[in-house]
Amino acid sequence: MNGAAGAGAGAAGADVDAARALAREAMEAYRDDPAACRLLEGYARRLDEPLRVAIAGMVKAGKSTLLNAIIGEEIAPTDTGECTRVVTWYRYSDTPRITLYPRSGPPRNVPVKRTVGRLVFELGGLEAEDVAKLVVDWPSKTLRDITLIDTPGIASLSQDVSARSTEFLAPTDAPSEADAIIYLLRHLHASDLGFLESFRDTAAGQSGTVNALAVLSRADEVGAGRIDALLSAREVAARYRRDGALRSLALGVVPIAGLLAQTARSLRQAEFSTLSELASLDRRERERLLLSADRFVRPGGPLTASPEARADLLDRFGVFGLRLAAALLRGGISDPTVLAHELARRSGLDELLAVMTGQFQARAGQLKARTAVVGIEKLLTDRPRPGTDAVAATLERLLASAHAFRELRLLAVARTTGLPLEPKLAAEAERIIGGEGVSAQERLGLPRDTADDELREHALECLRRWHAVAADPLHGRPVAEICQTVVRSCEELLAGVQPASGGRAAARLVLGPEPLTGSVQDAGDYRRAG
């Protein structure tokens, strides 16, 4: 971990500690209110748990397939059975276990059964609407740092199914159960924007700008399965990123061929052999074979694999995956591990995992702390009582002093009303406060392998530039307050990246008193937008 990363981790820990102390103070104030104490204990527990990331989207958007790709195992069912209509949590555990939580009655364990590698969920005679959630504890390394939550389809023909996801992710009277969300799009519909808007507008979801990521799923279908389909999908994703409505609701749009991503993480030796045989065929013969699904699985032909094995291969790769794998093998790849890694990269999975790491996991402490803080704020607002004024004052001080929260609030303003700066400066400000990721390199727009000395030089240059912007007498108070936040971000970069020879830490430049409430009236409600 370089210096800047270490500084970021320390800041995240401080935010979590402050939120934990706030929860303890609130519990003391509500000590004779059992319901309130249960809420507060829940917020406190979330601070010590992995970040919760929900996967949502319309029916058949590929949510379970993407979840399998992220985990690296095909465990989540991808059919349209009853289990896909239930909110399902995937958490880390040393031993596999599945727990069913009915809407009434105690939780119960259900058998851990797998069919063709995937889990089979038995609801014990209950209907999907009678099940509050399923919790799958699984020994996957990916789940050590993140809890993934699979949700039923939005805009389902069944209003009950859609309501289940909305109730879970965007409740009207409590914080969302998820700290962040990956939302799958096939095409940009009004219902997609409406859901993302509701996720942002809930009491605990007002920072949807900084905790929602859009994924253009099934990206291979954009190009009708052609080998260059992902190139077309990237153009569509770029157009969506520029869409004003979506840009205000999501950090970005990442195209991904979910089926190929899932398969690449679990490539089998027998499949590699059949793909190698497919790649060795004459080009005309290979193209005839891939002309349609029926032709590929038809008995006979040039492949030695059985029709059943070919059907399974087609189900796992799709026509796009088969064509891409054959092209890579013809291009010189001869090792199944190398092929699997290259398929994952070209599917868009590597890019998605990098964005998740840079935007979600790198600021996990801040996102979890913010969920707890906003939940406590709502409790204080809805159920005031003697003694809670002191808790509210502590909360106000935390919001005013925590720089990470100011970054999140300013990022929300940047993505909604925009910053009152010339375009080049506005884009730089958004990047420095973490709009493209929170590592020092991402904040400064530099390559990932940039050395610490060069990072420090660029951070110092940014600090001087923003000091000059703040000192410009033509700028009013809104710009000065924006500069305060950007300058503080630059200072934290400098504090985390010291010269190779050591030496004193960079002195902090303070451009006048820091705002206590973070209010930027002329640029939008800076505090409440976050």
Q: Which residues contact 519 (CB under 8 A, 6 or more apart)?
A: 481, 525, 526, 527
Report the alpha-carbon distance of residue 158 to residue 138 in Å, rounded.
Answer: 30
- Total residue length of the chain: 530
Whether the CB-CB separation of 420 and 523 falls below 8 Å is answered with yes
Output the tens digit of pLDDT for each of the chain's 530 residues.
Answer: 444 444 455 555 678 899 999 999 999 999 999 999 999 999 999 999 999 999 988 888 889 899 999 998 888 887 655 567 889 999 999 999 999 999 898 999 988 888 776 788 888 788 888 888 999 999 999 999 999 999 888 765 555 666 777 777 777 667 778 888 899 987 777 777 777 777 665 433 344 345 788 898 888 877 666 777 788 888 888 888 877 777 777 778 899 988 899 999 888 999 999 999 999 999 999 988 988 888 899 888 889 999 999 999 998 998 889 999 999 999 999 999 999 999 999 999 998 998 888 788 888 888 888 888 888 998 999 999 988 999 999 998 888 778 888 888 888 788 777 888 999 999 999 999 988 888 899 999 999 889 888 999 999 999 999 989 888 888 788 888 899 899 999 998 888 876 654 444 444 444 333 333 333 333 333 333 33
CA-nearest of 515, 511, 410, 411 to 469 is 511
Distance CA 404, CA 16 (A): 11
Distance CA 524, CA 130 (A): 43
The amino acid occupying position 503 is: G
Let me know: does 237 contact 218? Beta carbons within 8 Å: no
Q: What gap in Å lies between CA 365 and CA 347, rounded to an integer? A: 30
Asked whether 365 and 17 are in contact (CB, 8 A), the reply is no
H helical segments located in 290-335: 293-297, 307-330
Q: Which residues, listed in sequence order, are joined to residue 149 by a DSSP beta bridge? A: 54, 89
First and final C-alpha spacing in the chain: 29
Give Cα 3 distance to the centre of its chain: 25
Angle made by CA atoms 23, 26, 27, in degrees to the nearest 5: 85
Cα–Cα nearest to 318, from 301, 296, 300:
296
- DSSP 8-state secondary structure symbol assigned to residue 94: S
Place of tokens 């942002």: 200
Angle at 204 between CA 201 and CA 205, to 5 degrees: 40
Q: What share of the chain is helix, strand, coil (3-state, %, to 5)?
A: 55, 10, 35
- 63: number of CA atoms within 13 Å, CB side? 28
Helices (H) and strands (E) in the chain, counts: 22, 11
Q: Which two tokens stand for residue 108?
A: 């119960």
Q: How far is CA 135 from the centre of its chain?
A: 20
Q: Residue 154 has which token pair? A: 């939005």
